[in-house]
A and B are shown apart, each in its own frame.
Chain A
């Protein structure tokens, strides 16, 4: 086992973490600030990817596809929030889960009607289609590095927006006591719409960015939703920085578990036993990580005790 192999696996873990973060950031904002459990988050991810893939097929430009996919997610997000979700803020989480689960079914069938059930293909932009030799013996697809770059950019921009701007202050105040913010003459409904739009935008961005490396197909949002919730809970609900740390931890744990558990178990078990045990063990690693962390810090890594 060479150093380049270990390094490549570490990089894989960070990269998966940043991909998860793109999706978790929007979810934790909506969950933490508006108190809304949005199961349909994956639908915005899917719509972003479908619109982007369609635009890329028509125009051949990745940048246009990116703008279109993200734009579609924002518009859809704001429309859904103002038409369906507003009455739900006062209701319990169960009602929210019911409505947003219904939305998943609706968006999946609507996507199938519009685009068919065969899925779409999406390519990375031409400049990022090749590999970069990071170190001797360590080639890495450059598009994956670009996804990581976008993930880093999002965490910086979100921290600035929430921590350093007026709208960020209103969002944080609304999360703490929305009645008081409203009484001070702030249109809290508008703030909520903005937050939801921002969350949908991040989901759409994640969909467009991951489109070229996964299958753009109906139901793609649900497959990744569970891991995303693990990230949000682990990081502390509502904490963007917490989600960032948790996403990296989950990405690393999952990737390294898959990479090294078989090799580790291979040291003292027969090969047939390893092939039976290792996949099951590797798939439980992130849940063990979550359980252990929540025992130690029930509010999550960077969450506030409520």
Chain B
């Protein structure tokens, strides 16, 4: 009886107080892929996010934080189920993480109309970077078209005339290669899309040999991408036709499976372990000490994800009730990104630099991505102009 009365009294107090109320605790619903070929990427994300929490004394914006992790199995419908469970059963204050952009899109479709906040580190689906951009969603990563647009602009500057593009026959694959065409302009020497379950590329490689392009641009971030790269190298093409893709296809998490086939592969990314700023040095050294290897790009984005939430919660004084206000605070937040200072575009996607990385074997016999050049600075993604939001 006494307990009930206490609860009623407390509830009345809360009602009377009304409006802004600092929470005493924050729960993060973390969605990523932990089974299947992408599990290795999801693990890096969870590692990096947990490391950031450790660095923040398990607090986000001063509030004690609980991390609830859910595996989306790389399936949109599972991701949506998880998102509902995280928000309703686990009472998550916001959703974070996210890996595959088609899973993210399904989750956003389901939770944004309900007013949930999503502060993620996954690829931003094209619609949510453009016309469907939302006040409740922000990501530390990129829209996948953007690095490919930058590859296109870079290759054009390098005097490439006849590029050949090959990508997975899924929407992100087509978006990415369209981004490349946007940057490159002109005609492609060839264009091929491969099945998601295809691990044999002899036909496609023979076609590349027939066309004899001056560069090949590829999109295949899954396990079959490893097969593609190995076969490209074994066919001897790597020495005659340079291969370009995004760095997450050929970084730390792929090296065990690629082995020396990765040496000399060029890629464009938004982060490198070699970036010279305090936050990055601290992150890379701590990650290496704890997990015995260099972090990946997706790991770095997940680390930024935690720092961004921390800064946003601090900025709203711990009031987690107004989700749009929380996300607005995130986009203005002054946080020590591992990419140095970044700011967000009107569509809540970072405006950031892009770098050219080349895989090389260090003197210790370990593969690493060498930061070779800055490809472009302060880049906006191609969809931002379609986003109606103003701030």
Query: Which residues on A sit within 8 Å (CB–CB) of B192?
Result: 262, 275, 279
Task: Give Cα A144 to B36, complex, Å.
Answer: 27
A117-B40, A143-B234 known; A217+B191 contact, CB < 8 A: no
A12-B202, A224-B199 known; A215+B257 contact, CB < 8 A: yes
A117-B39, A143-B234, A218-B39 known; A258+B258 contact, CB < 8 A: no
Q: Which of B43, B223, B235 contacts A220 (CB under 8 A)?
A: B223
A2 within 8 Å of B (CB atoms) = yes
Interface set, chain B 229-285, CB cutoff 8 A to A: 230-231, 234-236, 253-254, 256-261
Does A117 lie within 8 Å of B43, measured CB to CB?
Answer: yes
Interface set, chain A 85-143, CB cutoff 8 A to B: 112, 116-124, 129, 131, 139, 141, 143
Query: Residues 165-187 of chain B: 1 if any A CB is under 8 Å from the residue's CB, otherwise 0?
Result: 00001000000000000000000
Task: Give Cα A121 to B256, complex, Å.
Answer: 6
Interface set, chain A 261-286, CB cutoff 8 A to B: 262, 271, 275, 278-280, 283
Query: Which residues on B sit within 8 Å (CB–CB) of A9?
Result: 203, 206
Task: Give Cα A131 to B235, complex, Å.
Answer: 7
- A57 — nearest CB in chain B belongs to which residue? B259
Interface set, chain A 127-165, CB cutoff 8 A to B: 129, 131, 139, 141, 143-144
A216 within 8 Å of B (CB atoms) = yes
Does B204 lie within 8 Å of A258, measured CB to CB?
Answer: yes
A19 within 8 Å of B (CB atoms) = yes
Q: How large is the interface on A (under 10, 10 to 19, 20 to 34, 35 or more residues)?
A: 35 or more
Task: Give Cα A187 to B202, complex, Å.
Answer: 46
Does B236 lie within 8 Å of A131, measured CB to CB?
Answer: yes
Query: Which residues on B sit within 8 Å (CB–CB) of A15?
Result: 202
Does A213 lie within 8 Å of B210, measured CB to CB?
Answer: no
Does B191 lie within 8 Å of A271, measured CB to CB?
Answer: yes
Minimum CB–CB distance from A274 to chain B (whole Å) comes to 8
Minimum CB–CB distance from A14 to chain B (whole Å) comes to 10
B226 within 8 Å of A (CB atoms) = yes
A214 within 8 Å of B (CB atoms) = yes
A60 within 8 Å of B (CB atoms) = no
A67 within 8 Å of B (CB atoms) = no
Does B206 lie within 8 Å of A275, measured CB to CB?
Answer: no
Query: Which residues on B sit within 8 Å (CB–CB) of A120?
Result: 256-257
A259 within 8 Å of B (CB atoms) = yes
B224 within 8 Å of A (CB atoms) = yes
Task: Give Cα A189 to B366, complex, Å.
Answer: 50
Task: Give Cα A255 to B198, complex, Å.
Answer: 11
Q: Which of B200, B204, B253 contacts A118 (CB under 8 A)?
A: B253
Query: Which residues on A sit within 8 Å (CB–CB) of B230?
Result: 212-215
Q: Which of B40, B199, B209, B253 contacts A214 (CB under 8 A)?
A: B199
Does A219 lie within 8 Å of B202, measured CB to CB?
Answer: no
Q: List 5 A-B contacts (CB under 8 A).
A: A119-B257, A121-B259, A213-B227, A220-B223, A255-B203
